[in-house]
Structure 1
């Protein structure tokens, strides 16, 4: 499925040393700080390592998050806030705002920002794996599961941790609820596309495929609606002019129209099998109309400037096969209607009131790991906040540059369409 998924760039961050000289007063406290620095660096390196797999990512992320939560969680499970939560400043960019960073002196901001990047990595891993030639059934399952894991991480951040931020999230930032929801929905929609590809390969009931395609189109429609709503009219206008969010939105619109194309095509097959040839013709005509719209959107998407890895849906074998399928099925319906059915073709397209009973995607539930055992009451007590300098050296300099993560340039392999061998 080479070039089938659009991907926004990873979030970039300023280096964090976790050097609290004088504040960390014991070797145990100093060791936790060193472990935090090293595990953060290693995790950031894995984001751009093309050999990284889900097991490596989970182990590295779990280790860092288990340490970081010592700055957030109270050891006695009380409602009292951990005294270390605001000891360090963190700076992160946003996926739809270019390299304009935002900073908060809050460990929860680091938790949700790094968690957001982990979720993004799973989507990129899924895209890279889906782009392999002759993808196997096990690899297809990995793509499917990775997208569900990403959706689960985004969902957990949105519901359980982002609301705890002291500083409200600005419009258009990744952690804004509607943008995070857009990411959740897109992950679900993409996972369902894998399900549809599988159903087509195994020649499942056209009614099931039509219903799944319709549900997936609805997912993309919701995602399209969330992005502009998150930016707001004024901010959205500026963003569209700079190409920041329009590329992502156009991609989602393209996939929404492609889903409707597919739904009407397979619904037409279902109608024909039920001897409703006239309605089948009208459904296929509607599919043909949406296919033309999808081709136009693909061209618009290809000409739109913006951040991220650009997809090429119109050049994808699956897309080209769909166009051929629409044409051949419509011609078949017209022939059958001329020889057997002699039914009137309705003026209005059939209403797609399709509900899939199988194959619907739900996010995989996600929880952050338990607090690392290195954190003890004695370790926390060893941080003496009264010894912090008046000029907080933990804060990055105002002009400190946040360099974008250099993501691996994965060359696409020969397009093998939806084939799952």
Structure 2
């Protein structure tokens, strides 16, 4: 299925050195920040290799996700610390003894407050810069927010899984193991997009810019598109294994709806930004509607409903023609992402031949045997797919790294000469 999947570009970011010379006082803090810098660089380097194994991507991304959270999530105070803070002074002590206890308590409180103070500062101390997949010729977005880096990197990991799937699909011969990995990667990408949309976007310091990758509607489109593309793999497998025509028709019909829903999420957005992607979604929606009608027409012919079969196949032919026109419009539309030529692809051409063959067979049999009237409108395609439908694979970011100990946070300190400008 080479040149069959449209792909928006990876997000680009600036190098981040995590310069902590003004805020670090101890080796533990230096070490965890050095590990964070190395994890970020390793993950960015892996984006350049869509042929890498998903296991390697999981390892690199989880290492980064666990470490970056230390800049904006602080572990809860221990129960022993809370008990110490809740202790009431006794009436038996001298005034001097009470004063010493108060001093000790102030010191303990200050120590316990250190992680919170570190987090409040570290979350906004570094400046992060990220391009957005749909922005062409627009400057990158810049935020003083560690969660901004966390979320953009998470979206890039999801994009990597879509590109990994496309890389496998571009092989001359796709084995069953490859098809399974393509299917798995697309479901995992959908789960990643969903995780960051549902559980992390709302915690950004500033609301997402419309048409950016953090726009909930853009993320919804990515989720639905990944589900639809995973179902394309299922359809191709069902055709190869010669499953029932009604099953294939049902799957194709649901896939067409998924592409339509993905397109609907972008209707209210700037068409100069999302127009090219929308053309891709529309041509896929139309193509799979044609696909569904073709196989439904074949199923009706097997039931000797030749008139209805002809009507379905006639409409399928018209939709395929519309899909070809949309392919050409897509190619000429300016916008982000790779430009593909689905109507020149073998999968498309094979379907075109199969549709023509079925249409001619249906007309021929009706002329010689059935002599049924062709209805003015196609019959309702009352097919509900019960197998092969795709849901996102649930994804949860790992917990904060154990390297973020109280000792590491205790090594954080703001000196008097900290500059107000952020460290890029």
Both proteins in one fold, TM over 0.5: yes
Q: Which residue of 2 aligns with 1:32?
A: 32
Q: Which residue of 1 aligns with 2:73?
A: 73
Q: Which residue of 2 aligns with 1:147?
A: 186
1:33–1:346: structure 2 CA closer, same or farther, 3 Å change rule? Answer: same
Give a deviation string over 1:123-157, Cα, whole Å, max 9, x none.
Answer: 00000100101111001000000000000000000
Q: Which residue of 1 aligns with 2:129?
A: 91
Q: How does 1:86-165 map to 2 (within 5 A)?
A: 86-98=124-136, 99-165=138-204
Deviation, structure 1 residue 340: 1.9
Deviation, structure 1 residue 228: 2.9
1:274–1:385: structure 2 CA closer, same or farther, 3 Å change rule? Answer: farther
Structure 1 residue 10 corresponds to structure 2 residue 10 = yes
Higher helix share: 2
Of 183, 188, 194, the match for 2:222: 183
Deviation, structure 1 residue 74: 2.1
SS in 1 for 2:123: coil
Q: How does 1:214-233 map to 2 (within 5 A)?
A: 214-229=253-268, 231=269
SS in 2 for 1:324: helix
Structure 1 residue 20 corresponds to structure 2 residue 58 = no
Distance 2:77 2:292 in 1: 51
SS in 1 for 2:125: coil
Q: How does 1:231-270 map to 2 (within 5 A)?
A: 231=269, 236-237=270-271, 240=272, 244-270=273-299
Structure 1 residue 332 corresponds to structure 2 residue 361 = yes
Deviation, structure 1 residue 51: 4.3
Q: Which residue of 2 aligns with 1:323?
A: 352
Give the conservation status (yes or no) of the 8 Å contact 2:313–2:359: yes
Work out the number of aligned pairs and report it: 384
Structure 1 vs Structure 2 CA RMSD: 1.6
TM-score (norm 1): 0.88
Structure 1 residue 369 corresponds to structure 2 residue 413 = no
Deviation, structure 1 residue 213: 0.5
1:247–1:49: structure 2 CA closer, same or farther, 3 Å change rule? Answer: same
Q: Which residue of 2 aligns with 1:294?
A: 323
1:87–1:294: structure 2 CA closer, same or farther, 3 Å change rule? Answer: same
Distance 1:338 1:77 in 2: 82
Distance 1:263 1:296 in 2: 19
Mark the structure with the bigger radius of gyration.
Answer: 2
